[in-house]
Amino acid sequence: MNRSIDQAVSEVLANHQGGCAMQTAWDRYEAQLPQCGFGELGLCCRHCMQGPCRIDPFGEGPQRGVCGADADTIVARGLARVVAGGAASHSGHARHLAHVLHKIAAGKAPDYPIRDEVKLKAVAARIGIATEGRSVNELAHDVAAKALAEFGDNGEVLAWAATTMTKGRLEAFSSLGIVPTSIDGSVAEVMHRTIYGVDADPVNILLGALQCALADYAACHLADIIFGTPQPVVSRANLGVIKADAVNIALHGHNPLLSDIIAQVASEPELIEAAKQAGAQGGLNVVGICCTGNEVMMRHGIPLATSSVSQEVAIMTGALDAMVVDYQCIMPAVATAAECFHTKLITTMPIAKLPGAEHVEFREETAADCARAILRQGIERFKLRHPDKVCIPAHTSTAIAGFSAEAIIAALSTVNAEDPLKPLIDNIVAGNIRGICLFAGCNSVKVPQDRNYISMVKRLLAENVLILATGCASSAYARHGFMTSAATSQYAGKGLAAVLTAIGEAAGLGGPLPPVLHMGSCVDNARPVDVAVAVANRLGVDLNQLPVVASAPEAVTEKAVAIGTWAVAAGLPVHLGIAPPVLGSKLVASVLTDKLKGLLGGWFLVEPDPDKAAAALLTVIDERRAGLGL
């Protein structure tokens, strides 16, 4: 089985010196085959202890569970709970940040200055907080209080949804009764209505899932105030960023609270000296994995080692002295991998401990000290590294990251300072930018790592589609060299290349903008929406009319499903390269892939073949262009 088209990953898989029966996600996937057909189709229910119940997809065996739930109900309930899982994760992350913002305002988190006061003020004004004559801490307090209030239920539409979507979208949500009024309430309500004997109407359940997904969307907006709004930064990506002569510390997970501080204190001379004293002439080398990796890459230029599916492979280089994890997308298997090498695995969050890891509880009050202590543990561990087990592939690529919505607008304003959106809109109208595709989501063992991303992007770029990327999609394009000026000349169609060159030169980049813009981690999917909403408002149209599409060609997690679902609600056609467990219900599948189009303008397009998927997205882009008279 072809596991990855990333040469660095393939080399380590082939040549690592793990010894002790080192297994990876791909091995464990093969051991699972064939996977359960009922589960794949979403036809297994375990929502009560009279089950598990299974529906026979061929119509020969049982068509109803013990309670009478049929395939449609069971599949819809299962999907809704997947969305709730995703929303709970993203909103847990957001709640954590809101609490920290509160502490910052109260002077209880001294290691976190407010890094973007302008954004704090803008967000405060947007959500209706008085800003005139108020101090930064007062504003931070009120924004945090408002954010925390979004988790409760005051019966009003969530401010972060109401103030960041188009009017047309809000009307569409209202007409379907899916306006989110509470983040926690939406998650809890999905759990309630999908329990034994509550909601059995599959369409009603799906509407609940859409509302919950919109709550997920609302929870994606706080990080820049605390950590700073990213600006373009040149870094490197792929396993070759791990250095043989340095103490290598990998930061893995999602919430940058600790990793952002580690990224900063790693340049302290005492720590670098300590690393050298331990024998690492290259000093300290901090690298990122998954979305924490994206966060520190776009804000601090920290190089990105690899993505989710290959997280164990970073350890298998034999040169990772410590892996520091926070939460989400951390395979328990990293503990086993670490045991086969000398890597110190450190968990930091009370809700995410791993058997086999050392837990260093992180507290915002003493963040910098905690970060230093963790780095010193990595330095100690370096002394135990076995040089004969080191297998670092030479591959890396340059990657320009940090294209926040603000950074994109700033780049555009170098072309037209009065009206920054005009160059973007003019080029869409002229066809130089035929459309925009947001790639999001994960890498899965079910697809050779990165294959779908890379084949689709080559086709779309050649057809002048501008690409935005977040999450592990960003990682794929960073590792494969698509986030460079050179990639524009190599892959972009003529029209797109001309636009990217003009903007890059006007912005003083000394070359074209990359054809794939790294917009951040998965919680940063709100950034592309911000740009799309600005364009839609400027044109006086709604999001579901724009030639903008999304794709999660190698999706894995519940979080990815939650994001895909709100993207559909936002009016985007969303391609999925791996079918979610819904195909056991013709009704649910037809709502998701067809009926939603009439209701919200967005829908899911399931296509495992990347060539066909790219062609389908181009067709949709052209239909939307035609709809706008272009």
Which residues here bind ligand BF8, judged by CB under 6 A?
254, 290-291, 308, 329, 441-442, 471-472, 521-522, 556-557, 559-560
Supply φ then ψ for residue 507, to 5 degrees: -85, 0
Q: Mark the segment that binds ligand SF4 (CB under 6 A) among 62-70, 102-110, 478-486, 524-532.
A: 62-70
* 8 Å CB contact between 76 and 206: yes
Q: Output the six-digit token pair for 465.
A: 């589609």
Residue 69 interface partner, choices ligand SF4, ligand BF8, none, CB cut-off 5-8 Å depending on type: ligand SF4
| Beta bridge partners of residue 250, listed in sequence order | 287, 323
Minimum distance between the CB of residue 77 and ligand SF4, rounded to whole angstroms?
8
47 in contact with ligand SF4 (CB under 6 A): yes
Pick from 8, 13, 41, 53 the residue near ligand SF4 by CB under 6 A. 53
Supply φ then ψ for residue 261, to 5 degrees: -75, -40
Radius of gyration of the chain (CA): 24
* 8 Å CB contact between 547 and 628: yes
Residue 52 or 152 having the CB closest to ligand SF4? 52
The SS3 assignment for 114 reads coil
Minimum distance between the CB of residue 329 and ligand BF8, rounded to whole angstroms?
3
Please count the residues of the chain.
630
Sorted by sequence, the CB contacts under 8 Å of residue 553 that are 6+ apart come out as: 439, 441, 447, 452, 453, 456, 575, 576, 577, 578, 610, 613
Q: Please report where in the chains the tokens 């963040």 appear, as a residue.
A: 367
* 8 Å CB contact between 178 and 210: yes
Q: Output the six-digit token pair for 97.
A: 């940040």
Q: How far apart are CA 602 and CA 580, in angstroms?
A: 17
Residue 67 or 360 having the CB closest to ligand SF4? 67
368 in contact with ligand SF4 (CB under 6 A): no
* 8 Å CB contact between 433 and 424: yes
Count of residues of this chain found to bind ligand SF4 when the rule CB under 6 A is applied: 14
Residue 291 interface partner, choices ligand BF8, ligand SF4, none, CB cut-off 5-8 Å depending on type: ligand BF8
Residue 48 interface partner, choices ligand BF8, ligand SF4, none, CB cut-off 5-8 Å depending on type: ligand SF4
- 415-440 core/surface letters (b: 16 or more CB in 10 A; e: else): beeeebbebbeebbeeebbbbbbbbb
Q: Is the peptide bond before 34 cis (omega within 30 degrees of 0)?
A: yes
29 in contact with ligand SF4 (CB under 6 A): no
Q: Kindly identify the residues of this chain, within the stretch 444-463, that bind ligand SF4 according to CB under 6 A.
A: none
Q: How many CA atoms lie within 13 A of 313 on its CB side?
A: 29
Pick from 17, 40, 67, 446 the residue near ligand SF4 by CB under 6 A. 67
DSSP letter (8 states) at residue 463 = T
48 in contact with ligand SF4 (CB under 6 A): yes
Residue 55 or 445 having the CB closest to ligand SF4? 55
Minimum distance between the CB of residue 200 and ligand SF4, rounded to whole angstroms?
9
Residue 28 or 192 having the CB closest to ligand SF4? 192
Q: What is the dihedral of CA 29, 35, 41, 42, to 10 degrees?
A: -80
Pick from 18, 42, 57, 65 the residue near ligand SF4 by CB under 6 A. 65
Q: What is the dihedral of CA 152, 157, 160, 163, to 10 degrees?
A: -160
The SS3 assignment for 375 reads helix
Q: Mark the segment that binds ligand SF4 (CB under 6 A) among 51-59, 85-93, 129-137, 502-510.
A: 51-59
* Total Cβ atoms within 10 A of residue 323: 30
Residue 173 or 327 having the CB closest to ligand BF8? 327
Pick from 51, 282, 356, 493 the residue near ligand SF4 by CB under 6 A. 51
Q: Report CA torsion sign: 8, 292, 561, 160.
A: negative
C-alpha angle 312-318-324 in degrees, rounded to nearest 5: 55
70 in contact with ligand SF4 (CB under 6 A): no
Minimum distance between the CB of residue 29 and ligand BF8, rounded to whole angstroms?
15
Residue 71 or 592 having the CB closest to ligand SF4? 71
Minimum distance between the CB of residue 84 and ligand SF4, rounded to whole angstroms?
16
Q: Report CA torsion sign: 309, 311, 312, 318.
A: positive
Q: How far apart are CA 238 and CA 176, in angstroms?
A: 44
The SS3 assignment for 579 reads coil
Residue 186 interface partner, choices ligand BF8, ligand SF4, none, CB cut-off 5-8 Å depending on type: none
Minimum distance between the CB of residue 254 and ligand SF4, rounded to whole angstroms?
32
66 in contact with ligand SF4 (CB under 6 A): yes
Residue 50 interface partner, choices ligand BF8, ligand SF4, none, CB cut-off 5-8 Å depending on type: ligand SF4
45 in contact with ligand SF4 (CB under 6 A): yes
Q: How far apart are CA 44 and CA 584, in angstroms?
A: 10
What is the distance, to the nearest Å, from the Cα of residue 344 to the centroid of all Cα atoms in its chain? 26
Q: Mark the segment that binds ligand SF4 (CB under 6 A) among 40-48, 113-121, 142-150, 438-446.
A: 40-48
Pick from 2, 35, 50, 137 the residue near ligand SF4 by CB under 6 A. 50
Pick from 69, 120, 206, 466 the residue near ligand SF4 by CB under 6 A. 69
Q: Output the six-digit token pair for 531.
A: 């740009």
Residue 47 interface partner, choices ligand SF4, ligand BF8, none, CB cut-off 5-8 Å depending on type: ligand SF4
Q: Kindly identify the residues of this chain, within the stretch 148-207, that bind ligand SF4 according to CB under 6 A.
A: 196
Residue 291 or 591 having the CB closest to ligand BF8? 291
Minimum distance between the CB of residue 444 and ligand BF8, rounded to whole angstroms?
8
Residue 441 interface partner, choices ligand SF4, ligand BF8, none, CB cut-off 5-8 Å depending on type: ligand BF8
Residue 557 interface partner, choices ligand BF8, ligand SF4, none, CB cut-off 5-8 Å depending on type: ligand BF8
* 8 Å CB contact between 84 and 191: yes
506 in contact with ligand SF4 (CB under 6 A): no
Binding site for ligand SF4 (CB under 6 A): 45-48, 50-53, 65-67, 69, 74, 196
